[in-house]
Amino acid sequence: MLISLAIRNVVLIEALDLEFGAGLSVLTGETGAGKSILLDSLGLALGARADSGLVRNGEAQASVIATFEPPAAATRVALLLADNGIEIEPGEPLLIRRLVKADGGSRAFVNDQPCSAALLRELGGSLVEIHGQHDDRGLLNPRGHRALLDSYGRCDAGTVASAHVGWRAAAKALAEARATVDNAARDRDYLTHAVEELRKFAPEPGEEATLAEERATMQKGARLTDDLSAVGDCLTGSDGGLAQLRQAARRLDRIASEEPLLAAVLEALDRAMVEAGEAEDRLAEAAEALSFDPARLDMIETRLFDLRGLARKHQVQPDDLAALRDEMDAKLAAIEGGEEHIAALEKDVAGKAAAYRAAAEALSGERQMAAGRLDAAVAAELSPLKLDAARFRTVVAQMDEGQWSPQGMDRVEFEISTNPGAPFAPLAKIASGGELSRFILALKVALAERGGADTLIFDEIDRGVGGAVADAIGERLSRLAKSNQILVVTHSPQVAARGAGHLLIAKSSDGTVTRTGVHALDDAERREEIARMLSGAEITAEARAQADRLLERV
């Protein structure tokens, strides 16, 4: 529900702060007083196009702040805010602020968090419905008629939506399978040859690195073999260093007792022989580690060359050849078993399409029954609104299969015929503004208890009518106000008398500056305003008496 509206520097409005209550609030005033400016200001806050012409002359910017009751959890408004990352504390009012600059451009905020104009329009459509003679969005827009009928008839499209998701997913899987088989079939010969070649070669992940490392080790052994052999000869041959050390040690051992210093020399030779022995052992181990088989080296080099050649041929890394083989093998398998697989997918698609059709046809049946009830409900409202000759119908027609959606296979549109024998036509095609306004009211009354925005605004819906028709309009607006907040701009005293609150819109001028203001009327002021609406510029005693009778009756 709309709680308040703060307007600054919008056309003739310098500064205006309005508060609204529940039920029916009426806005009256003389023609040209600025009622349209007030609605334009609210429309701005609800996401209407920002026109710099709305900025009051001489001001840098205009601003509008609309405050609404805190959105209840899990409602469309709450979910919409959450989906767009706008956080509102529980119990916190919803505050929408729109700024328009005189030099162009605008900004929008929800509870001081920036938001796009597109989000503002979507949010505004969930908060407030504005109905007027030239409204091309609400009830006049056929795109929303299906949702309105579903809401009225409690028609649940959830089963249809789920069936549609399953059907489309199966159809997508079938299309992808067909494309895969078609593409693979064109390459059958190439795939057969490539898979056979890769199977025969049997590449393994990591094989390139293993072969390269083994080859490097063998190549190093081949390079060092002669040096190791020469070093071995120096150490272990009959004339090698170790043999010479041992011969020297034996001779010293025989004569070491002759001179104390020779004993120290013998000890040093013993240590040298131990070290030389260890060196001999390590040399043997190194020779063993670096030993190689020329045939093995040749085989490794050939394998490594062929592995890298295959990788270049298929434009992959050597380690990816095994995966490529499996992928090509799978494509061949798809060709060989493709027809059988496609047949199974076609059967799945047919089954899910049938399930969707059955669910959609059941939903269509629900819509047809709801349409009949809605037509009867609207028809009951037409006679009191002096639309006795008019007829209303809800058209539920099946669309082409290409247009079927998660919401079903139906096109829904409200149509009317205003004269006996006249063909039915869409609501938007009605020529008479007064008739169209009354049709909208009748339809809205019929739909009143079936959801929608909490706040409804009717802009001069009583234009061109009076007397009993105006009274019938007022009675229906009052009935709507029991479940919704209603704001109505009216020139009819019969409608104005029904209001729980009454705002007077007036224009004033000091000779240089013209301003539009809004004043909340008390009981006495309200009586005078209704009397003015009855009699014109000069308020007569008879008009006041008639105003009293209107107020007492409601």
Q: For 23-27, 237-241, 534-538, 550-554, which range has the lowest pLDDT when averaged over its residues? A: 237-241
177 pLDDT higher than 60: yes
Mean pLDDT of 209-227: 75
Q: Is 541 part of a structural domain of the chain?
A: no
Phi, psi values for residue 238, rounded to 5°: -60, -25
C-alpha to C-alpha distance for 42 and 348, rounded to whole angstroms: 52
- Please report whether residue 284 resides in a domain: yes
pLDDT tens sequence across 225-252: 666 666 666 667 666 777 777 777 777 7
Largest Cα span, the chain: 162
The structural domain count of the chain equals 1
For residue 431, pLDDT over 70 is answered with: no
Q: What percent of the chain has pLDDT over 90?
A: 25
- Condensed to tens digits (0 to 9), the pLDDT of residues 187-205 reads 777 888 888 999 998 998 9
Q: Which of 252-256, 286-290, 398-402 ranks highest by mean pLDDT?
A: 398-402
Which of 102-111, 239-248, 337-346, 360-369 is predicted most confidently? Answer: 360-369
pLDDT at residue number 213 = 83
> Does a structural domain hold residue 267?
yes
Position of tokens 């405050």? Answer: 67
Which is nearest to 108 in space by CA: 50, 186, 23? 50
Average pLDDT score over residue span 69-77: 81
What is the mean pLDDT of the segment spanning 99-106? Answer: 89
List Cβ neighbours of 291 (8 Å cut-off, separation of 6 or more): 221
Q: What is the pLDDT of residue 136?
A: 45
User: Is residue 195 helix, strand or coil?
Assistant: helix
Instruction: Answer whether residue 430 shows pLDDT above 80.
Output: no
The pLDDT of residue 225: 67
Would you say 364 and 396 are in contact if contact means Cβ atoms under 8 Å apart? yes
Question: Which pair of structure tokens corresponds to residue 388?
Answer: 């006795």
Q: Is residue 285 part of a domain?
A: yes
Tell me the average pLDDT of the chain: 84
pLDDT bucket at 14, cuts 50 / 70 / 90: confident
What lies within 8 Å, CB to CB, of 527 at 6+ separation is 544, 547, 548, 551
Residue 320 in any domain: the answer is: yes
Residue 386: what are its φ and ψ, rounded to 5°?
A: 60, 45
Task: Name the most confidently modeled range: 219-228, 241-250, 392-401, 446-455.
Answer: 392-401
The pLDDT-based confidence of 449 (bands split at 50, 70, 90) is low
Write out pLDDT tens, residues 499-529.
999 999 888 877 778 788 888 899 899 998 8
Q: Report yes or no on 36 lying in a domain.
A: no
Q: Is residue 13 part of a domain?
A: no
SS3 383: helix
Length of the chain measured in residues? 554
**The domain containing residue 306 runs over which residues?**
190-331
3-state secondary structure of 395: strand
Across 395-406, average pLDDT: 94
Q: In terms of pLDDT, which residue wins out, 238 or 12?
A: 12
59-63, 278-282, 384-388 — which is least confidently predicted? 278-282
Least confidently predicted of 55-69, 196-210, 437-451, 527-541: 437-451
- Residue 458 falls within a domain, yes or no? no
pLDDT at 274 over 80: no
Does the pLDDT value for residue 103 go beyond 50?
Answer: yes
User: Helices in 66-157 by DSSP H: which ranges?
Assistant: 76-83, 117-127, 145-153
Q: What is the pLDDT of residue 432?
A: 60
Query: What order of strands is seen across the sheet that includes strand 106-110?
Result: 13-19, 2-10, 61-68, 94-101, 106-110, 113-115
